[in-house]
């Protein structure tokens, strides 16, 4: 575990270490990120010591890496449950929600060498000790922190220890090819339940249908009158 006070993004630092040959399991945690990244090119506001910002270097031996990000979401969910006793829900693919508000997010970035991944960077951000005013205007209504939920200062080091253990556990499951265990656990903790009506935004076009669960690779299945459509997180801009 490398610890830094400040960096652009722990995913950048982890990638740099991976390129230099860092072994699987190497992690980087920062107190602050000056250019924290979210999915879809969004920013991840990373105020000093308010949030937990950590990235892991993984070196899976299979080209099929899409379940790593779901396993990462399950790992963070489990760590938050163990550290704080909170039963959070997953919003596909891997946001963690508390009463519909976002508590944590995951940014998984993969570099391929030919057909095989050279490394995967699993970046995790958890809102820890933010007060409502600490969130920027544009996300204040949709974000939440552990402190807002529990009314207590959250212990960053304790949660980090749990995250390390949980990531190890869920990633080992992935490496053993236990996809079904990952998908079943995901189903159990998913905010969306099979049969729910959903709308997804794909390149500004809304598509309506019924949530039909996930396929073996973790893609979302949307059922409408024309059949069942398999949608990847790259295709979906937003789940409304």
Binding-site ranges for ligand BTN (CB under 6 A)? 9-11, 33, 36-39, 42, 44, 53, 55, 95, 105-107, 123-125
Give whichever of 95 and 214 is closer to ligand BTN, judged by the CB atom: 95
Phi, psi of 144 (to 5 degrees): -150, 160
Please give the residue whose beta carbon sits closest to ligand BTN in the complex: 105
Q: Residue 149 CB, nearest distance to ligand BTN (Å)? A: 18
User: How far is 189 from 8, CA to CA, in rounded Å?
Assistant: 32
The residue among 223, 220, 225, 213 whose CA lies nearest residue 238 is: 220
Nearer to ligand BTN (CB atom), residue 25 or residue 38: 38
60 or 105, CB closer to ligand BTN? 105
Q: With respect to ligand BTN, which residue has the nearer C-beta, 7 or 231?
A: 7
End-to-end CA distance of the chain: 37
Least separation in angstroms between residue 13's CB and ligand BTN is: 9
Least distance in angstroms from the C-beta of 180 to ligand BTN: 26
Which one, 91 or 223, has the nearer CB to ligand BTN? 91
Cβ at position 103, least distance to ligand BTN in Å: 10
- Rounded to the nearest whole angstrom, what is the least distance from the CB of residue 43 to ligand BTN in the complex? 9
Q: Tokens 């960053």, residue? A: 156
């Amino acid at each position: 575990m490398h610890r830094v006070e400040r960096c652009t993004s722990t995913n950048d630092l982890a990638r740099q270490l991976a390129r230099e040959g860092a072994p699987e399991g190497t992690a980087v945690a920062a107190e602050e990120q000056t250019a924290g990244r979210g999915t879809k090119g969004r920013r991840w506001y990373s105020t000093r010591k308010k949030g937990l910002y950590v990235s892991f270097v993984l070196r899976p031996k299979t080209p099929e890496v899409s379940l790593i990000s779901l396993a990462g979401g399950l790992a963070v969910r489990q760590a938050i449950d163990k550290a704080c006793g909170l039963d959070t829900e997953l919003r596909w693919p891997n946001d963690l929600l508390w009463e519909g508000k976002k508590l944590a997010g995951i940014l998984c970035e993969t570099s391929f060498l030919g057909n095989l991944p050279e490394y995967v960077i699993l970046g995790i951000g958890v809102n820890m000790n933010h007060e409502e005013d600490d969130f920027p205007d544009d996300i204040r209504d949709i974000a939440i922190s552990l402190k807002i939920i529990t009314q207590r200062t959250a212990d960053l080091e304790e949660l980090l220890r749990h995250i390390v253990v949980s990531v190890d556990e869920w990633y080992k499951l992935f490496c053993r090819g236990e996809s079904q265990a990952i998908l079943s656990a995901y189903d159990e903790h998913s905010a969306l339940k099979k049969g729910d009506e959903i709308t997804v935004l794909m390149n500004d076009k809304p598509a309506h249908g019924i949530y039909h669960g996930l396929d073996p690779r973790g893609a979302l299945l949307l059922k409408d009158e024309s059949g069942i459509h398999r949608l990847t997180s790259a295709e979906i801009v937003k789940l409304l």
